[in-house]
C-alpha cells in the first residue's frame, strides 16, 4: 500500500474518531443539561411536599363554641376557632399580653388551621368542653423561617416575621412542639391564595378531564383519517393537497388553535369558559395532525404481503384493513397518540385563550365545570408574589412530570400488548 493511501486512511480514521468524540460530547452535554434541570426542579420542589405543624393543647370551651348546648352544626361551624388557637399559643407564651402581641403570635399559625380545627369538632361534637391535642399548620412565612429560607439575617423591617415571632418559633421548636410531616394537602386540595393551603388536585382532575376529551376526539378521528388517506383514498390532486395541509397543521403554533377555539367553541357553540370540554376540543385539534401522521406512517410500515395474503383468501378491502393491517399498525398508532397527548398535556397558551387561567378552588366533577390544568397552575403559581409559591411551582412541575411519565409508561405497555411479530 502506497504512502498516499496510508495517509488517506489515517485521515479518514482520525475524522471518524473526531466525529465519535463530538457525538459523545453532544450526548453527554444533553444528559448533563437534563440532570441539571431535574436536579434544580427537585431541589426547589421537594420542600413543598413537607410542612411544619405545631402541637397545641386547645381548650374547646363550650361557651365559645356552643353556648346553647344544642350541638347545631351551623352554630358550631360559626365559632371563633382562630381565637381558640390564639389562646392556646398565649398559654405557651404568657408574656404576649397585649392585643398587638397576641395578634402577631396568632399569625404564625395558618388561616387554614382554624378550619381544620372546626372540621375536627364538627366530625366529633363530643370534643366540646374538653382540652385536646391539636397539630396546627404553620403559616407559609413561619414554615420558610423554620426551613432557613425566611431571611433571618435581614433587618426586621425587610422580612415578614418580626424578631418576636422568630423567637416564639424557635422556642416552640426547642420545646419539641414543632413537627415536620408530609404535606398531603398539596396533593388532595385545590388552589388557594395562601401558599401553605394551595394544592394541585383540582388541576390534576382538570387535566384528566381535558386529556380524556382530547383522547376521545383525536384518537378515533385521527385513526379513521389515517386509514382513509393511506388505504382507501384515491391518489389525486385533492388528497395530495390534503396531506400537505395536514403536515402544515402539525407545525402551527398552539396559540392559533386557542384563538380558533375561542372563536368557534366558545363564541359560536357557547361552550362554558374554563371548561375541560372546551380545552379538550382545542387540544384535540392540535393533536389530530400528529395522530394522523403517526397513524399513516404505521399503516404504511405494514408489509404489502399482509394485504395481498388477506385479499387472496377472499377478504374484502375493509376486512383486510381492520382485521390485518390495523392490528399490526396499532403499536405505532398508539405511540403517536401518546406522544401527541404528552404534547397536549404540557400546553398552556391555548388553555389561556379559552379562560382556563381562572382561580379555581373546587375540584371539577365533570368536563363542563370550571377547571384549570397542571401547566396553567404552574403558570399561575410562578406569577404569584409570595415566596412560598416558588417551591409550590416546582412541586407542581414534579407532579406534571410524574403525570407525563405515567402516560409514556402506558404507551410502552399498550405498544407491547398490541405488538405482533411476523
What confidence tens digit (pLDDT) does each residue in 166-200 have?
A: 888 888 988 889 999 998 899 888 888 888 888 89
Same domain, 213 and 125: no
Same domain, 235 and 364: yes
Q: Say what the pLDDT of residue 105 is.
A: 87
Tell me, yes or no, whether 227 lies in a domain: yes
Instruction: Give the chain's mean pLDDT.
Output: 86
Q: Is the pLDDT of residue 53 over 90?
A: yes
Same domain, 241 and 266: yes
CB 54 within 8 A of CB 86: no
How much is the average pLDDT of 316-325?
A: 84
| Burial of 294 per CB tally in 10 Å (0-12, 13-18, 19+) | buried
CA neighbours closer than 13 Å in the CB half-sphere of residue 221? 14
Q: Say what the pLDDT of residue 418 is.
A: 67
Q: How confident is the model at residue 403 (pLDDT cuts 50, 70, 90)?
A: confident
The three grid cell numbers given for residue 158, joined into one nine-digit string? 425587610
How much is the average pLDDT of 105-119?
A: 89
Q: Is the pLDDT of residue 25 over 60?
A: yes
Q: Is the pLDDT of residue 366 over 90?
A: no
Q: How confident is the model at residue 26 (pLDDT cuts 50, 70, 90)?
A: very high
Distance CA 399, CA 395 (A): 6
Q: How many domains does the chain have?
A: 3
Same domain, 362 and 255: yes
Same domain, 244 and 386: yes
Distance CA 305, CA 277 (A): 43
Residue that finishes a domain, picked among 155, 183, 211: 183
Same domain, 108 and 250: no
Same domain, 400 and 265: yes
Q: Is the pLDDT of residue 14 over 80?
A: yes
Same domain, 35 and 56: no
Same domain, 285 and 402: yes
Tell me, yes or no, whether 190 lies in a domain: no
Q: Say what the pLDDT of residue 28 is.
A: 93
In tens, the pLDDT along 242-255 reads 888 888 888 888 88
Q: How confident is the model at residue 344 (pLDDT cuts 50, 70, 90)?
A: confident
Tell me, yes or no, whether 196 lies in a domain: no
Tell me, yes or no, whether 409 lies in a domain: yes
Q: Is the pLDDT of residue 157 over 60?
A: yes
Q: How confident is the model at residue 409 (pLDDT cuts 50, 70, 90)?
A: confident
Tell me, yes or no, whether 91 lies in a domain: yes
Q: Say what the pLDDT of residue 421 is.
A: 59
Tell me, yes or no, whether 191 lies in a domain: no
Q: Say what the pLDDT of residue 369 is.
A: 86
Same domain, 375 and 396: yes
Q: Is the pLDDT of residue 4 over 80?
A: no
Q: What Å distances lie between residue 218 and 5, 177, 224, CA to CA? A: 58, 54, 10
Q: What Å distances lie between residue 396 and 35, 388, 401, CA to CA? A: 18, 13, 9
Residue that finishes a domain, picked among 31, 46, 61: 46
Tell me, yes or no, whether 194 lies in a domain: no
How much is the average pLDDT of 289-312?
A: 86
pTM for this predicted structure: 0.85
Q: Say what the pLDDT of residue 419 is.
A: 65
Domain that includes residue 147, residue range: 50-183
Percent of the chain exceeding pLDDT 90 equals 15
Higher pLDDT, 289 or 410: 289
Least confident of 25-39, 217-231, 288-302, 349-363: 349-363
Q: How confident is the model at residue 150 (pLDDT cuts 50, 70, 90)?
A: low
Same domain, 68 and 37: no
Residue that finishes a domain, picked among 183, 214, 239: 183
Q: How confident is the model at residue 310 (pLDDT cuts 50, 70, 90)?
A: confident
Q: Is the pLDDT of residue 422 over 60?
A: no
Tell me, yes or no, whether 350 lies in a domain: yes
Q: Say what the pLDDT of residue 395 is.
A: 92
Same domain, 245 and 137: no
Percent of the chain exceeding pLDDT 70 equals 98
Amino acid at each position: 500500500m502506497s504512502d498516499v493511501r496510508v495517509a488517506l486512511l489515517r485521515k479518514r480514521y482520525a475524522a471518524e474518531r473526531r466525529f465519535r468524540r463530538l457525538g459523545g460530547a453532544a450526548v453527554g452535554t444533553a444528559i448533563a443539561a437534563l440532570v441539571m434541570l431535574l436536579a434544580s426542579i427537585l431541589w426547589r420542589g421537594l420542600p413543598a411536599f413537607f410542612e411544619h405543624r405545631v402541637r397545641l393543647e386547645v381548650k374547646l370551651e363550650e361557651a365559645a363554641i356552643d353556648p346553647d348546648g344544642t350541638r347545631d352544626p351551623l352554630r358550631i361551624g360559626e365559632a371563633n376557632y382562630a381565637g381558640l388557637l390564639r389562646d392556646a399559643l398565649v398559654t405557651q407564651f404568657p408574656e404576649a399580653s397585649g392585643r398587638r402581641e397576641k395578634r402577631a403570635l396568632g399569625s404564625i399559625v395558618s388561616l387554614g388551621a382554624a378550619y381544620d380545627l372546626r372540621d375536627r369538632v364538627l366530625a366529633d361534637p363530643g370534643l366540646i368542653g374538653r382540652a385536646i391535642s391539636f397539630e396546627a399548620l404553620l403559616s407559609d412565612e413561619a414554615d420558610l423561617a423554620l426551613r432557613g429560607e425566611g431571611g433571618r439575617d435581614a433587618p426586621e423591617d425587610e422580612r415578614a416575621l418580626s424578631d418576636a415571632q422568630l423567637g416564639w418559633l424557635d422556642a416552640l421548636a426547642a420545646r419539641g412542639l414543632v413537627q415536620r410531616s408530609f404535606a398531603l394537602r398539596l396533593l388532595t386540595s385545590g388552589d388557594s391564595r395562601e401558599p401553605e393551603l394551595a394544592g394541585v388536585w383540582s388541576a390534576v382532575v382538570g387535566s384528566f378531564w381535558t386529556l380524556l376529551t382530547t383522547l376521545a376526539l383525536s384518537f378515533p378521528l385521527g385513526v379513521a383519517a389515517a386509514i382513509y388517506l393511506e388505504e382507501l383514498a384515491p391518489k389525486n390532486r385533492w388528497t395530495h393537497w390534503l396531506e400537505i395541509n395536514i403536515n402544515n397543521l402539525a407545525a402551527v403554533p398552539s396559540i392559533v388553535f386557542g384563538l380558533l377555539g375561542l372563536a368557534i367553541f366558545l363564541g359560536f357553540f357557547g361552550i362554558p369558559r374554563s371548561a375541560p370540554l372546551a380545552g379538550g376540543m382545542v387540544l384535540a385539534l392540535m393533536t389530530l395532525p400528529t395522530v394522523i401522521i403517526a397513524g399513516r406512517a404505521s399503516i404504511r410500515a405494514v408489509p404489502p404481503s399482509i394485504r395481498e395474503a388477506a385479499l387472496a383468501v377472499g377478504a374484502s378491502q375493509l376486512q383486510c384493513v381492520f382485521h390485518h393491517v390495523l392490528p399490526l399498525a396499532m403499536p405505532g398508532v398508539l405511540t403517536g397518540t401518546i406522544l401527541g397527548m404528552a404534547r397536549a398535556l404540557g400546553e398552556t397558551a391555548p388553555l389561556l385563550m379559552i379562560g382556563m387561567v381562572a382561580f379555581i378552588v373546587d375540584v371539577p366533577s365533570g368536563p363542563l365545570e370550571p377547571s384549570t390544568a397542571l401547566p396553567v397552575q404552574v403558570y399561575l403559581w410562578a406569577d404569584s408574589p409570595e415566596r412560598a409559591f416558588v417551591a409550590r411551582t416546582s412541586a407542581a412541575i414534579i407532579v406534571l412530570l410524574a403525570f407525563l411519565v405515567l402516560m409514556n409508561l402506558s404507551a410502552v405497555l399498550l405498544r407491547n400488548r398490541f405488538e405482533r411479530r411476523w
